[in-house]
Structure 1
Amino acid sequence: MTGFWKDRAVLVTGAGGFTGSNLARRLAAEGAQVRAFVRTGGSRRDLPEAVEMFEGDLTDPVDCARAVEGVDTVFHVAAVFRQLKGGPAVLKAVHVDATGHLIRAAKAAGCRRFVHTSTMGVHGHVKHGPGDENTEYGPGDDYQDTKLEGELLARALSAEIGMPLAVVRPCGIYGPGDTRFLKMVRPISKGRFFMIGDGTPHYHFVFIDDLVAGIMLAGEKDAAVGEVFLIGGPDHPTLNELAATIADLLGVARPRLRIPVGPIMFAGRVCEALCQPFGIEPPLHPRRVAFFTKNREYSIDKARKLLGYAPAVDHREGFRRQIEWYRKEGLI
């Protein structure tokens, strides 16, 4: 603890989600006066009683203005990961329009800093890794498209109106409380996992505790203003290395089955096209297949140098903790 956040009023959007709730808890533990922006009727997600709950609609400028009243720092974490109902329009409303409302409201309220959470996905596939903050953009779906649009709006608008801004691009977020990587861990645990493609692409993870520390540093350090930071873990394994690590931690045989990408990608597109008109989450979709084909390997040197960011959890230790939580919850 640095003592920096003690008694500072902060707003955390998306505080009903995995990253936002962990950030809100950590800030509260360091003595901040935390206001958690959640959807009307949304979950408190085990937030401490000291955290002030603010229920509202991020796409409503009036709610945004009310939420930032008396706030020192805004941490904008809210996102819609996948959205079948409403499609791209809903993603744009949350990732782009709401970002504009919040930044304007923060400036009008005299907030000290605005920390915007983007994603490593704005870069898409990194042809020659490791990439960095200047690697060309290459979003590959509606989620990544709108996250990039929201980030670019945040940067342009903050410069235009003079709202001090820092942007963080998290790598693949995981940790106890998150279930996204069950799709990989569970089949490996049952000996039913198959690698799509050759397994050589890298995937850069960030354990939730390290990510929260990085986001807070972006809100604290003067050197963060006007900058963009990739926030990742200390290593970026290949998918083959990841699968082997998970199998070893589970105490099962390492996966050996492989299938070509083409047929699975075709099946994913067909499955999504059939499910989408009915608002059904497809069991297989192109985004899931792309996990196995896109190289996501980054340098975090900029965050280390300017923020003093020092991630402590590599993928092996992180997945040990992740698997321990899955077992505790009876998920595997």
Structure 2
Amino acid sequence: MEKGLIAISGATGFLGTALVKHFLNKGYRVRAHAHTEDKARQIDRRVEDIVIGEISDDAMITELVTGADFVIHTVSNFRYASGKAESYRRINVTGTKFLIDAAVVAGVKRFVHCSTIGVHGDVAKTPATEDSPFNPGDLYQETKLESEEYVRSKMGKSDMEIVVIRPCSMYGPGDLRMLKMFKMLSKGRFFFLGKCKENFHAVYIEDVVSAFAKAVEVEGIDGEVFIVGGPDGYLPLRGYVGEVAEALGAKPPELTFPYSLFYAAATLCEMVCVPLGIEPILHRRRVRFYKNNRAFDTSKAERVLGYHPSVSLQEGMKRTVAWYRERGLL
């Protein structure tokens, strides 16, 4: 039975790649977006329709959404301290505006937007819910919030249904963003900054994909926002790092340095490197990893969306480590 056409922006990213595979396996037709020709070569060979170009390109966006039943928007400009503010706005904000506006014109049935728990920033009152205050802590989070706010402003303004997903910290096979931490732990070089009693909330990639699948298929969720996390919930950062170390077969780190000292050093490093267009070896975002409180209530997604994550942190980390090792990354 024909299930319809899903257009996926950012189809070569960590989440996008997993979504393409899932929906193809479920019998959907998939139209995939890639930023460049080189990126397009990474897309699953079963995808018959690939659209290439900038997410802020009107013509490309029109081609991407025309005839689609569903659109899933995953593109974002991730955090780089040396990244220019203009690029964050062009991709995270302008690209999102162009895409959702084009989807309305094209008569798309449902638009699913990938936001982030980062819009809540350092959570003051835990666990945070979908209605908790926004508190973005950097340019990435600020522009992700602005793009989400634009998406939500379109809710109820047309026949197109809109759903927003805010995933917790995603991890799993295919993710290279956390590889540096895994390497440091495996070599016994990881250290803490400060007490690290603040909470961390992770979610395995398969569980995130299941949330997006439900966001496409479940009826009666137009205009809803959902936070999705792993089945273990949140835990202190030291506990999270300990789980990674256990999966690696490494000794849990004990070495601790003052947080304030490294934050000051990161600030200075950014002041010197960013104007020169150089990515700092140490910047404030990385330091805030040790300090920000990230604890979330995912009960709304479980209750309304029917989201039930199944991959524990322990199991997910084992799979992630195995994937890294199979590819010689560890």
1:261-301 CA-to-partner distances (Å, cap 9, x unmatched) read 10101111111222212222211110011111001011111
Between the aligned partners of 1:223 and 1:288, the Cα distance in structure 2 is 39
Between the aligned partners of 2:305 and 2:155, the Cα distance in structure 1 is 20
Between the aligned partners of 1:180 and 1:130, the Cα distance in structure 2 is 25
1:304 to 302, 305, 313: 302
Aligned length: 328
1:10 aligns with 2:6: yes
Residue pair 1:18, 1:178 contacting (<8 A) in 2 also:
yes
1:20 aligns with 2:41: no
Q: 1:263 to 1:253 in 2, by over 3 A?
A: same
Q: Which residue of 2 aligns with 1:67?
A: 64
Q: 1:45 to 1:175 in 2, by over 3 A?
A: farther
SS at match of 2:156: helix
**Identity across the alignment (%):** 40
TM-superposed CA distance for 1:123, in Å, is: 0.2
1:235-282 CA-to-partner distances (Å, cap 9, x unmatched) read 222111112222222222221111111010111111122221222221
Q: Which residue of 1 aligns with 2:78?
A: 81
Q: Which residue of 1 aligns with 2:32?
A: 36
TM-superposed CA distance for 1:42, in Å, is: 4.1
Alignment of 1:1-332 (within 5 A): 6-44=2-40, 46-51=42-47, 52-83=49-80, 87-235=84-232, 236-332=234-330
SS at match of 1:215: helix
Residue pair 1:84, 1:279 contacting (<8 A) in 2 also:
no
- Give the alignment's Cα RMSD to 1 decimal: 1.6
TM-superposed CA distance for 1:86, in Å, is: 5.9
Between the aligned partners of 1:50 and 1:253, the Cα distance in structure 2 is 43
TM-superposed CA distance for 1:190, in Å, is: 1.2
TM-superposed CA distance for 1:228, in Å, is: 0.4
TM-score normalized by structure 2?
0.95
Amino acid in the other structure paired with 1:60: D
Amino acid in the other structure paired with 2:264: F
SS at match of 1:269: helix
Question: Is there any run of 5+ residues in structure 2 with no aligned partner, and where?
Answer: none
Between the aligned partners of 1:179 and 1:13, the Cα distance in structure 2 is 19
Amino acid in the other structure paired with 2:325: R
SS at match of 1:158: coil
Question: Is there any run of 5+ residues in structure 1 with no aligned partner, and where?
Answer: none
Between the aligned partners of 1:331 and 1:160, the Cα distance in structure 2 is 47
Moved more, 289-298 or 57-66: 57-66
Between the aligned partners of 1:44 and 1:62, the Cα distance in structure 2 is 18
TM-score normalized by structure 1?
0.95
1:205-254 CA-to-partner distances (Å, cap 9, x unmatched) read 11111001101111111232101000111122211111222222222222
